[in-house]
Amino acid sequence: MSANLIALLYQASLQTLYMVAVSAILGTLGGLPLGVFLATSQRGELLSAPMLNRALGLVVNATRSVPFIILVVAIIPFTRMIAGTSIGTNAAIVPLTIAAIPFIARLVENAIREVDAGLIEAARAMGATPLQIIRKVLIREALPGIALGLTLAVVSLIGYSAMVGAVGGEGLGDLGIRYGYQRFMPDVMLAVVVILIVLVQLVQSIGEWIAARFDKRAPRNRGH
């Protein structure tokens, strides 16, 4: 493999990392509060708003049901309005973020719903407000699950970032298509696949480590 192709692989890897990092941050900023609200707003819950909960749930499910590659094409006018263009790394961040928000929201919702209901009742008995319960009990207890959920979201975004290469996005997916597929260079395609696998393994390992640090049960389990 020539030095030029190695340089292209390096640049494409940086582009992929940039797309995934920015969309993961924006997706978390949108998905985390949405997930918390979905987990606490059904009838009789801390932030009881069943009608709004149902409406947001329908939007989340509808967005998640659209295949990513179709979502990318369907929102091209919106992407162009936000990013000023429909191609390139900045443009790719728009559909990546839109796909990430509902995905992260459901993962956060599931993590919070796994918190022992007895902890909520105990906090209520002590006079804690709903927001205090959410911040100091639910989110704190759900942190290991949230960390694993965000890890899964980032891994999915790495895969999605490769897909946007088929529709004008840059990064490893674009490089694999232009050189590995269209120019019949299997060594480039292999290098792209290996880099993506390494990125996924690295993200998974870091995510599991962070989740273990948040897990209060981990020290006791190791003690046995």
Each residue of 128-181: pLDDT tens digit? 888 999 998 999 999 999 999 999 999 999 999 988 877 777 888 888 888 877
| Span 41-51, pLDDT tens digits | 998 888 889 99
In degrees and rounded to multiples of 5, residue 29 shows phi and psi of: -60, -35
Please state, in angstroms and rounded to a whole number, the distance separating the CA atoms of residues 27 and 34. Answer: 10
Written as six digits, the tokens of 29 are 């900023």
> Which among 164, 159, 10 is positioned nearest to 90, based on CA atoms?
164
The answer to whether the CB of 207 falls within 8 A of the CB of 151 is yes
State the pLDDT confidence band at 218, using cuts at 50, 70 and 90: low
Predicted confidence (pLDDT) at residue 103 exceeds the cutoff of 80? yes
Predicted confidence (pLDDT) at residue 1 exceeds the cutoff of 70? no
State the pLDDT confidence band at 220, using cuts at 50, 70 and 90: very low
> Which among 63, 56, 65 is positioned nearest to 78, based on CA atoms?
63
| Span 18-40, pLDDT tens digits | 999 999 999 999 999 999 999 99
The answer to whether the CB of 110 falls within 8 A of the CB of 149 is yes
State the pLDDT confidence band at 184, using cuts at 50, 70 and 90: confident
- What per-residue confidence (pLDDT) applies to 219? 52
In order of start, what are the domains of the chain with their CATH numbers? Answer: 3-217 (1.10.3720.10)
- What per-residue confidence (pLDDT) applies to 166? 75
- What per-residue confidence (pLDDT) applies to 182? 73
Give the helix ranges, DSSP H, for the chain: 3-40, 50-65, 68-74, 76-83, 89-113, 117-125, 130-133, 139-163, 172-175, 186-214, 218-223
Task: Report the b/e string of 69-90 with b at 16+ CB within 10 A.
Answer: eebbeebbeebeeebeebbbbb
Instruction: Output the pTM of the full model.
Output: 0.89
Q: What angle do CA 18, 23, 26 make, to 5 degrees?
A: 130
pLDDT greater at residue 117 or residue 197? 197
- What per-residue confidence (pLDDT) applies to 167? 76
pLDDT greater at residue 192 or residue 169? 192
Mean of pLDDT over the chain: 89
